[in-house]
Every structure is written in structure tokens, then in C-alpha cells.
Structure 1
Amino acid sequence: MTAFEKPGAGDDDYPEFAAKAGRRALEDAGVEYDAVDQVVTSYCYGDSTCGQRAVYEIGLSGVPIYNVNNNCASGSSALFMAKQFVEGGLSECVMTLGFEKMQRGSLGSNFQDRTNPMDKHMMKMMELHEFAPAPPAAQMFGNAGKEHAERYGTKPETFAKIAYKNHKNSTRNPYSQFMDEYSLDQIMKSPQVYGPLTKLQCCPTSDGAASVIVASEDFVKKHGLEGQAVEIVGMSMATDAKDVFESGSMMKIVGFDMSRNAADAAYKAAGVSPSDVNVCELHDCFSANELITYEALRFCPEGKAEDFVQSGANDYGGQVVCQPSGGLISKGHPLGATGLAQCCEISWQLRGEAADRQVKDAKIGMTHNLGLGGAAVVGIYKRPTEWLSKSPKRKVSLATGPPDRQTTARL
């Protein structure tokens, strides 16, 4: 990864910080770019073939390069594609490279002369709720939070408590855009954005990049990488089902069913249950989405997310540590990089390399990446038991921070 940062805060353009992430992934894997036989890139904001322009900073080997745009799930969509290339025997080693150079402020549409891909979702929301002078994404997820509150009595401080956890966790992550801790009172009293959501419960726009090398078991053994290899034991992508626009539910419109269906398929493929997961990086674009996603991923029964939060089951010492990185709310959300950054964090956690943010005895990890419009990708990871005694081939882990940001995380 690169450290995520406020749009325009640095001097690099997207080819430079994407190339940094790609080179770091190769360094971590201990292989050269010439070993890569396909590349899948991901971004949302940019012209055609930005992926090629970014990869050309790393090398010119003539291999296929694909450009993926699946909204906020673009990074994990690239990872899912790479997994299928390897799993299907089409490739031995695939680079995934996600990046984003964003504009400041709330997300908007770049094209006004054609159908907006979110028109069905927005029109359905406006049938259920009056459109307000607030960012559209915040309205969609805020209304999902309001629905949960109306159904189950979820209190505003429960949503705020999720953001409190994520901001606190980010103080130990040198890759995070923000590394500031806030009190629960500060979070609740920050400017209201929409519904239960205040400013400190919403993710920022961000610049940044992340990269993951996906390889076959034979490739891993050939290059002596058993000591650092993490296995994707289950991964699934789901899109909206036919009843989403007929349901009258904002929770479904923002992806509850997609997340549930992707998670169920991933659990089945991995042969694990929700209670087996030790650490999870899920899509907390807003605190409301993290709350409803606990139920979608079956970490708790439907309607019990408030109890799950209030008991501390979602943090260190609890059932499953969610967002040890600080999540999108505090780590940042460069759309095309987010899913791959989640994979980076889970890989470091399973290797036991996450320093001050390490989850004790983390054996099974999960990622959940959501894009409205829509796509949800859920991945489950573990280290192969037979390789646990192997030592990493590389000498330095990048988990404790990027080389160009070697500051000590505040505790």
C-alpha cells in the first residue's frame, strides 16, 4: 500500500503512487515484475487505460492488463478476477493494482448526458424518503440506518460508537489518512450530515493505491514463498437480486442482500462459519453500513447489531475484531484501492506482522467490499497449516508502515 491521504495533499499523480504500491507488493513477494503474467487494475475516476499508464511505471512486459470499475468494490473485483485466473489454470502469477486520485468533497456524477447507473436505486430511495440537501450516498446509507433504528430501536450513540472504535484503531495504523482519536461525545456532536450520521461517521475521499500478488500453489513453492503466503480459501461476488427494488427496504437497496449472499457463498467455499472469523475488514463507508453489515455477514442475528456493538464483540477482546486498520472511516477510501487495502491488512494480521494493531491469535480473516449499483465481494483467508512453521523469504515487512511515512503510530 501507499499511505492514504487527502486528495491533492501530495505531489504524486496516480501513476506514481500506483507504481509505489505495485513495487512494494513485488518486494513483499520477493519476485520481479517479469514473473507476472497478467495484471488487473482497478479505479473509478479516470480515463480509459489508466491501468496501463500506471503499470508502465513498473515495467513493460507486454502482458494483458485489464481495467476494472465496479464502483467502491473495484479493488476486490480485481482480486476476485485474479483469483479466478489462477484458480482456473490460466495464470501462475497475477498482479492486482488498485488506485484512485479523487476530487475533494462528496462523490458526484461525471456524466450528465446519459443514464446514471444509480438511477434505479436513487428513484426508489426518493419513493421512500424525501430527497434532502445532503450528499446522495450519505442519504442512502443514512436512510438504511434510520430503517434499522425504526425496526429495532437502534440508538444514535450505537452508530457513533462504531466510528469511535474505528478512529481509535487508526491511531495505530501508519497507512491511515487520519490518525486522530475522538471521544464518543465529539463524534456525536460533529456536524450532522444526514439522519444518524455525523461528519466523523462518514468516510473521506482519498488518494492512494494498494496492490496484491495472487499466485498458484506451485508458484509459491517454486519461489520459496510458503513463509509469507496467505490463502484465499473462499471468495464470492454477488449483485442485486430481482426483489431489491420491490422490497421497500433501504437496507436492501444499499446492499444487505448482496453482502449476505456473497458471505454465505464464501463461508460455504471456505468450510467455515461466521463464529470462526477472528478479524474482518468490512465496508464501513458510513457507520450505518458497518452496523447493518454485522447482520449481513451473520456475525450476529438480524436486529441484534446494537447488542453486538454495545457488548464490544466487534473490537479487540471480542468475538471478531472489525476494522483494526481504522476502516474506510479513518484509514480513508480511495475507491479503486479499498478492496485491495483490506486484503493487505488481513494478510498482515494473519502473518502476525501488524505490530501495535495485531489481533491476537488471528487465524481466519475476512474482507467485505461493497459497491452500490452494485457489487459485494466477500473473501475469507487463512495461512495453510503446513506452512505455518516456514520463515518469510523477505527480510522486512511493510506492515508497520510505508517507507516514505516511517512515523511511529500514536497510541
Structure 2
Amino acid sequence: MANRTFVVGVGMTKFEKPGSRDWEYPDMAKEAVGNALQDAGVGYDKIEMAYAGSMYGSMGQRALYETGMTGIPVMTVQNACATGSSALFLARQAVRGGLADCALALGMEKMKKGSLGAGMEGSKVTIIDHHLTSMTAGRPWEMDKAPMPQMFGNAGREHMEKYGSTPEHYAWIGWKNHKHSTNNPYAQFQTEYTLDDVKNAPMIFDPLTKLQCSPTSDGAAAALVVSERFLDEHDLWDQAIEIAGHHISTDTPESFADNSSIQVVGFGVSQRAARTAMEQAQVSIDDVDVIELHDCFSANELITYEALGMAEVGEGHKLIDDEATTYGGKWVVNPSGGLISKGHPLGATGLAQCAELTWQLRGKADDRQVEGARVALQHNIGLGSACAVAVYKQC
């Protein structure tokens, strides 16, 4: 029988504009892991296994040397924008399978300014070549120089054509997440905008304006995943949050069968990962109180409402009409500000989501606190394509 698994310590750095802080990966790791260890109240010597994620650094072992050199296995993880969640998944697998009683998941990134490319530039094969081919097939759309905004922008266009959502719905999501971030000291942006500000910001790829797109960012986040035995030995039950379900899904042929941009950007993988994680946790989406989801672009947040089962297919924009995804609504989605406003250092995003939800379920999220939060869901997607969904519960 698999062991129960718990988050007992979380920590992160403030997310920053690339180049605005003079630091390297070991500096990020030391700060984030140090904060997680302090939160847990244990030393680095208690960690038996570590998974360190980054898309560009590929230096998990070296990054952790400034925190401790104890001879434990350290594995570098790389899984597109789902890198941090994948490190968390592997740490949980180690504890769940009895290979360790305390495992570390770390995510970190130093990024360049400007839009992301397709990956593996100069190669005929890229991590998203299937996705780009499917997006443009049978559609009057040419490839843009910035493929990521185009992919998610086209998914938004497809939703508008099929189901009647409007640019105003996507702008509202940008407005909401920037508003949420004003209470998050870790967020890259903490400015509140009006809805008109969001709508009238520079257009990146119609219908997505600049204030509906996640920025490039530097930063790190970390979590300690432990067993029941570890909690008992160190008397840490009061701060433990259970990872009750966690699943990673990847593409199937159906992702590309209909040349649907909505499917290309991860609807199917999100739906499968969410269903499995919630089955493991024995909850439904109606049991969830607070959600951190992968709003790399506002269009993806709306589409993900439907993938998670918060709304029927084609009706995600009705949640926006009802303001169901902010404070006072049925769910609070991205209380941290999400990727749009908190920032998106690729390797760190999934673990920053974990940190936010841990604080929320502990009732320690300060002015961001979701009242009465007991069950939380995390959604982190990386085109290439992988989607990780985790469900957390109060103990």
C-alpha cells in the first residue's frame, strides 16, 4: 500500500524581472530551500533525496551545493513549463513508494527578456512541432514570430468562434489576476489596473494584450515532501498539508486529431490529469475551494475552467459573467496573481503554486487568504506536452 505524502515546508524567492537582481542559480536555490527548511523547522541533513528543476540551468547538483553537500541523490528535472510540478511529483513518488521519508523538490530559473521561442532553435524537430503543425492546418493563420502567444491566442479565437466568448472575458481574467497580485509580496507585478487598462494595453496577439500575458521572470521555489513517519518523529502535524492526489498526463493522438488550438494548448491533457488526481484524492471539483492554474495567457485560464470541470465545455466564460472565480465566488482562482502577474520563471512556477496553496490551506496567506479553504487544486502545464495536477487537503 502506498504511503500518504505531505508538504511540511515551503519557500520561495520574490519573482523578478530578468536581470534586475544580481544572482545565480545557487543563490536562488539557497534562498528558496533555506526558506522551506526554516518553514519546516528541520535541517538540510534530514533530506534523503532531491529533485531540482530548471529549463535552462541544468545544474541541480551545483545549485544545491551552497545549501548542503550531504551525498544524497540529486536529480535535475526538465519538463517544459511543468518542470517544477514534475520535480514535486518525483519527490512525492519517492516518499509514497517508501524510498525516502523526506524529499526535496526545487524549481528555479534565470530567463532572457522577450518572448519564448519554440525550443531547440536550429533543429528541424522542436518540442512543439506537432503542436504548431496542428494549429496551422486547415486554418487561415500563418506562423507568427512569437509562437506561444499565437498558440494560446488562437485557442481563445477558436473558443470565441465556437462558443461565443468575447475579448472582454479574457481581459477580465487579466484584470482579476493583476488585482489579486497586489496582496502578494512575492509577485513580480503588484500593480492594480482597471479593466480598460487591460483591454487597451499593447496587443501581443489578438485577443491577448500585454496585461493578459505572463512575463519572463527569474526566481525559485521549493517544497519538502515527507511521510507520516517523518511527521510523527518531528512533531510536525500542525503544519502538514497532504498531497492527496497528483498526476501527470501527456498528449494522445486526440490532441492533434481535429486541428483544434484548444486541444493543442492542453485541454485534453489537463482534463485527464485533473480527473485522475481528483479520483486519487476522492474529491470533485465542487469540493475544491482555491485553485492555482496555469494562466500563461488569459485564454488558457478560461479554457482550463472547462478542462477542470468547473464549467461545461463551451461555457467557461459564464463563470466570468458570474464572477465565480474570484473572492466571493464559488472558487478563488490564482489568488497569488497567477503566472500573468506573479511571474513565470519556468522551472519554479509549479513549486510556487505549491507554496501558495500550502499557505492558503494553513490559513497563513495574509491579505490573500481564501476564507475557509480546506481543499486546493494545482494545475501546471508545459507544452511539449505535459500537465501536472495536484490536490491538497488540510490534515
**TM-score computed with the length of structure 1 as normaliser:** 0.92
Matched, 1:121 2:131: yes
* 1:241 Cα deviation after fit: 1.1
Where does structure 1 differ by over 6 angstroms across 4 or more consecutive aligned residues? none
Q: 2:61 — aligned with what?
A: 52
Secondary structure of 2:239 counterpart: coil
State the partner residue of 1:142: 153
Deviation, 1:126, is: 2.1
Q: Aligned pair 1:17/2:22, yes or no?
A: no
Contact 1:134 1:194 in 2 (8 A): no
Q: Which residue does the alignment assign to 1:407?
A: none
User: How do 1:67-146 residues align onto structure 2 when only pairs under 5 Å count?
Assistant: 67-108=76-117, 109-113=119-123, 115-127=125-137, 128-146=139-157
Out of 215, 226, 234, which is 2:245 matched to?
234
Counterpart secondary structure, 1:264: helix
Matched residue, 2:225: 214
Query: Equivalences for 1:259-278 in 2 at 5 Å?
Result: 259-278=270-289
Q: Counterparts of 1:66 and 1:157 in 2: how far apart (Å)?
A: 44
**Cα shift at 1:110:** 4.8
Gapped runs of 5+ residues in structure 2? 1-11
Rounded Cα–Cα distance in structure 2 between residues aligned with 1:129 and 1:73 = 30
Contact 2:120/2:126, CA 8 A, preserved across alignment = no
Post-superposition shift, 1:130? 2.0
Q: How far does residue 195 in structure 1 lie from its aligned partner after superposition? A: 2.0
Partner of 1:181: 192
Distance (Å, rounded) in 2 between the aligned partners of 1:34 and 1:133: 49
Report the Cα offset of residue 381 of structure 1.
Answer: 0.3
State yes or no: 1:244 paired with 2:255: yes
Using the aligned pairs only, state the percent identity: 52
Equivalent residue of 2:255, what SS?
Answer: coil
Q: What does residue 355 of structure 2 align with?
A: 344
- 8 Å contact 1:134–1:193 — kept in the other structure? no
Moved more, 124-133 or 192-201: 124-133
> Shift of the alpha carbon at 1:119?
1.1
**Match for 1:381 among 370, 392, 395?**
392
Matching of residue 333 in structure 1 with residue 344 in structure 2: yes
Report the counterpart of residue 297 of structure 2 in structure 1: 286
1:133 CA displacement: 3.8
- Residue 242 of structure 1, CA deviation: 1.7
Letter of the 2:104 partner, please give it. M
TM (normalized to structure 2)?
Answer: 0.95
Instruction: Name the SS of the counterpart of 1:227 in structure 2.
Output: helix
Q: Once superposed, what is the RMSD of the aligned Cα atoms?
A: 1.0
**How far apart are the structure 2 equivalents of 1:320 and 1:39?**
33
1:321 is matched with which residue: 317, 332, 341? 332
1:32-72 Cα deviation digits (max 9, x unpaired): 001000000111012x4x10111111010111011111100
Structure 1 equivalent of residue 5 of structure 2 = none
Match of 2:248, SS state, is strand
